Amino acid sequence: MAQPFVQLKGVQKTYDGENLVVRDLNLDIQEGEFLTMLGPSGSGKTTTLMMLAGFETATHGEIFLDGKPINRLAPEDRNIGMVFQSYALFPHMTVAENVAFPLMVRGVPKAGLAERVTKALAMVGLKGYEDRRPAQLSGGQQQRVAVSRALVFEPKLVLMDEPLSALDKQLREQMQYEIKQLHHRLGVTVVYVTHDQGEALTMSDRVAVFNNGVVQQLDTPERLYEQPGNAFVASFIGENNKLRGEVMSLDAPWCSVKLADGSLIKARAVAAGAVGSRTMLSLRPERIVINPPAGSCDIVAPARVSDVTYLGDHLRVRAQAFGEQTMVVKVPNASKDRIVGIDHDIQIGWRAEDCHALDVSA
């Protein structure tokens, strides 16, 4: 593999000298990659982005860009594009003046400014908006201006800090697609911060899941969802049913887990501990089948329906199983004729390979 375009080696950050916001972070990002840093508030993802941008200083460790250390470089000397959550447009400037600003501070000759601004605005579908001011634009248009401004000086690295969080759902999804297409077309390296799991899965080549200042898992969206490395990742990425129990036997790649009601469940030992240790079983709602045909599932258990919610393309069914455990099942709308009413007894089933035994210590 080629030398990473961005490297963080042993990076730590503390504000008070005692509590580490970012802990011994080692992260390699390849040129042209779209990497998302995902995590809850206070997990360290935005602090990491700010250290990359130069707005925060690493307490310990080194940050490299294209093989060169940048810890001691001022933000304006790093040649990094930045898109903020709040857009950060100058209200007294026109759209063209806002986009031209990074070029002007870099001393680009005026002769070429207008052409580069027009080209940058055309990339985001705003050609013809040059003379408007930010207050005359919608939220989505303002964000497009912010993206255009970050790209106009042709940086090799663009940082985006929750840039779509202020937009409504439909516009946010549209902008996700547009940013993703821009990335593919330009080949620029993007480091993106969000707390939105769906956004991360939709847009990224890889996702770094942060919690308590530590990257819990760095992987492709598909592997994060299908093969979470620990209980935190499984809980944070998408929805899942969590069954806690004790490892009774290990026979790689399988294990047997005893639940509180005495049920024995066969599962993949993805990150299970030794026999006798506590573990959490992770099972996605869409992997569960209601009243499965005989022989189609490895695990079948009785359950009682407690709630059914219609959500258009699927039904969300809640059922009580394994004692007082609530199980959530997503049923495709085409299969809804197999569902019975609330308080009715059913069978739920799934394949053992879809149930993952995970570490609960993270």
pLDDT in tens, 191-211: 999 999 999 999 999 999 999
The whole-angstrom separation of Cα 325 and Cα 152 is: 54
**Do 181 and 249 belong together in one domain?**
no
Q: What percent of the chain has pLDDT over 70?
A: 98
**Do 173 and 272 belong together in one domain?**
no
**Do 225 and 265 belong together in one domain?**
no
Chain center to CA of 346: 35
Bridge partners, 38 (sequence order): 194, 209
Q: Which among 149, 12, 129 has a CA at the least distance from the CA of 84?
A: 149
| Residue 95, CA distances (Å) to 48, 76, 98, 347 in order | 30, 21, 5, 60
Instruction: Count up the domains in the chain and report the number.
Output: 2
254, pLDDT greater than 70: yes
Structure tokens at 148: 């255009």
Q: Which among 275, 343, 83 has a CA at the least distance from the CA of 193?
A: 83
**φ, ψ dihedrals at 27, nearest 5°:** -145, 130
Is 1 contained in some domain? no
**Do 43 and 125 belong together in one domain?**
yes
Pairing of strands 299-310, 314-321: antiparallel
Q: Which domain holds residue 278?
A: 232-358
Give pLDDT tens digits for 158-178: 999 998 887 888 888 888 998
**pLDDT the model gives residue 336:** 57
Confidence of residue 304 (pLDDT cuts 50, 70, 90): very high
**φ, ψ dihedrals at 225, nearest 5°:** -75, -45
Specify the amino acid at residue 229. G
**Do 209 and 276 belong together in one domain?**
no
User: 212, 231, 250 — which closes off a domain?
Assistant: 231
pTM of the model: 0.88
Q: What percent of the chain has pLDDT over 90?
A: 72
1, pLDDT greater than 70: no
Q: What is the CATH number of the domain that holds 78?
A: 3.40.50.300
351, pLDDT greater than 80: yes
Give pLDDT tens digits for 90-137: 999 999 999 999 998 888 888 888 889 999 999 888 989 999 999 999
- 228 contacts 234 by C-beta, under 8 angstroms: yes
Q: What is the CATH number of the domain that holds 242?
A: 2.40.50.100
The whole-angstrom separation of Cα 6 and Cα 208 is: 14
Q: Which among 282, 292, 259 has a CA at the least distance from the CA of 360?
A: 282
**Do 299 and 207 belong together in one domain?**
no
- 224 contacts 209 by C-beta, under 8 angstroms: yes
**Do 182 and 270 belong together in one domain?**
no
Confidence of residue 53 (pLDDT cuts 50, 70, 90): very high
**Do 269 and 353 belong together in one domain?**
yes
Confidence of residue 45 (pLDDT cuts 50, 70, 90): very high
**pLDDT the model gives residue 165:** 84
pLDDT, average across residues 226-245: 91
Chain center to CA of 284: 17
Tally of residues, the chain: 362
